[in-house]
Amino acid sequence: MKKLILLVFVSIFLLFPNYQTDLDNMPYAGDEIQYWEIGYGIFSSGEYKREIINSSIDENSKLELGYRRGELIYPLLIATVLKINNFSNDISIENCDSINCYVFDQEVRMLVFVSYLLKISIVVVTFKNLIQRFSSPFSFILSLTLLLMLPNEYKDLITVFLLTIGIHNYHKQKNWSLIIFCILPLSNAVFLYILPFVFVTYLYLKKQSIKNLSITILVLLLPSLLWMTRNYLNFNEFSLTGRAAEVLSIRAEYSTNNFEQIRAGYIFYTPSKPFIFGAIQGNFWNYVATSGSDIVYDRSNPISSYKKAKNLTGVVGSKLEKQSFESKTYIEQQKILNTVSIDLIRENITQHFLLSTVFGYRGMFPAINFDFTEFYSVPEWITQFVKEIFSLLRLFFIPYGLIKSLINFYNKKVSFSSILLIILWGFFAFFTHFIPRYATYLLIPAVLFIANIDKEEA
């Protein structure tokens, strides 16, 4: 108990700077704002729509914009908090220019508090598993390393929390765990594609009957199928969200990179810490610059692959010009975008496969949040030492967990968490450009596999 209390205390110490920042800035611009607008739409009208304050768009457009961000759980949580705090009252928004308005300050405080409870809960569950295999000091510092890599985005944090509870309980309370996995795609749609493959692979290797496997998959998919049916009836689209084509188009744009840029991608995505990694990256950076990879892979650069895909100013955009893309409805645009992206990937299939190894490499190194060193004015030599230690420990998560999982799989050792880790990594490497927040989804299956949570199957 003393160890857990100390872990919670240190976690609060490390999280406090970000807690203050979130109180001042939530909801953040971008995706976060959109989920808040949907949450407000649910609260104010009972419908899943983006209620954009001071906007004149029609109701059908609001519903369609809600469909684009179709993951239900986070907006529903926002709507619930709004309802709890305003049970019998409306929220006066006359003086608000957007959803990021002072009238929602109370709800922001509640949601920020809940989010940090989730983070501490994840770390505590992880520590309780690690300590069964490793010493207390090593388990303690590994848990803190995980804490510093947890996602800042609220929706992703909910996803990681559900993953933690689902995997932790899988060998203890399978029915409860299955319920958690059922709702996971409603937090992040990628799990609609990943989880059936994981369960089919795992249960097949465990020699489960076809009947048992079929029932499990049906139960697993039921909530998603119900939500997809709702979307089909409203938008003629049998899917969870309306953004899958956009993600695929970004990957398709990357597939037009030349082979020199693909090779340079390994150097570009090598982290600067620990110092040996930074030394290697610095030694080869000239190759990255001369190949133009410092531009291609820089998401903020207007002529990067990412920006050209988002703004339709690259190869994908040029192909769409022949399709009268701008004159189509959003649903029609997504179908065209999906077709064009798949065709472009086929044209560049070799680059696509090679890029999968580059992005797979990138996904092994989630970002570490070192804001606490600046907040507490830590001396520079201590800051550098702390960064080296945590960056070194980061290698013990996805890189070590993935290699060990692949070895176990090759040796026919069945493990639920290792299979989930392998398939998650493969999916993000093959279909996305593996941004750091995607990598955070791999942390939990990796660390719980390392903690030998599947020990009864070893």
Tokens of 359: 């992005």
Spatial CA neighbour of 255 closest among 433, 436, 426? 433
Kindly list the distances between the CA atom of residue 339 and the CA atoms of 45, 178, 181, in Å, as whole numbers in the listed order: 35, 34, 30
| List of residues 6+ apart from 63 with CB closer than 8 A | 47, 48, 49, 234, 235
CA–CA dist 20, 337 (Å, integer): 41
The helix/strand/coil state of 105 is helix
* Tokens 């369609």 -> residue: 64
Spatial CA neighbour of 157 closest among 185, 116, 128? 116
| List of residues 6+ apart from 268 with CB closer than 8 A | 288, 293, 294, 297
DSSP 433: -
pLDDT digits (tens, 9 = 90+) for 277-294: 999 999 999 999 999 999
Tokens of 199: 């369960």
Tokens of 311: 């703004």
pLDDT digits (tens, 9 = 90+) for 187-227: 999 999 999 999 999 988 888 888 888 898 999 999 999 99
With pLDDT > 70 as the criterion, what percentage of the chain qualifies? 99
Residue type for position 342:
I
Query: By the 8 A CB rule, do 48 and 75 touch?
Result: yes
Tokens of 107: 């709800």
pLDDT at residue 457 in the model: 53
Which stretches within 274-348 are classed as H helix?
275-290, 293-296, 305-311, 315-320, 330-347
How many other CB atoms sit within 10 Å of the CB of residue 360?
Answer: 17
| DSSP one-letter string for 33-70 | HHHHHHHHHHHHHSS-S---TT----HHHHHHHHHHT-
CA–CA dist 171, 417 (Å, integer): 11
| List of residues 6+ apart from 226 with CB closer than 8 A | none
* Tokens 């645009």 -> residue: 333
The helix/strand/coil state of 362 is helix
Kindly list the distances between the CA atom of residue 316 and the CA atoms of 265, 322, 359, in Å, as whole numbers in the listed order: 21, 11, 20
Q: What kind and span of H or E run contains 353?
A: helix 349-362
Residue type for position 396:
F
CA–CA dist 314, 253 (Å, integer): 7
Query: By the 8 A CB rule, do 361 and 262 touch?
Result: no
> Lowest-pLDDT range, 76-85, 124-133, 317-326?
317-326
Query: By the 8 A CB rule, do 355 and 254 touch?
Result: yes
pLDDT at residue 287 in the model: 95
- Computed over its alpha carbons, how large is the radius of gyration of the chain? 23
Tell me the pTM. Answer: 0.93
Spatial CA neighbour of 182 closest among 150, 213, 151, 226? 226
DSSP 104: G
458 pLDDT more than 50: no
88 pLDDT more than 80: no
100 pLDDT more than 70: yes
pLDDT digits (tens, 9 = 90+) for 104-130: 999 999 999 999 999 999 999 999 999
Q: What kind and span of H or E run contains 219?
A: helix 210-235
More confidently predicted of 93 and 116: 116
Spatial CA neighbour of 8 closest among 146, 133, 121, 112? 121
Predicted confidence band of residue 60 (pLDDT cuts 50, 70, 90): confident
Q: Domain map of the chain by residue range?
A: 244-362
pLDDT digits (tens, 9 = 90+) for 4-35: 999 999 999 999 999 988 988 888 887 899 99
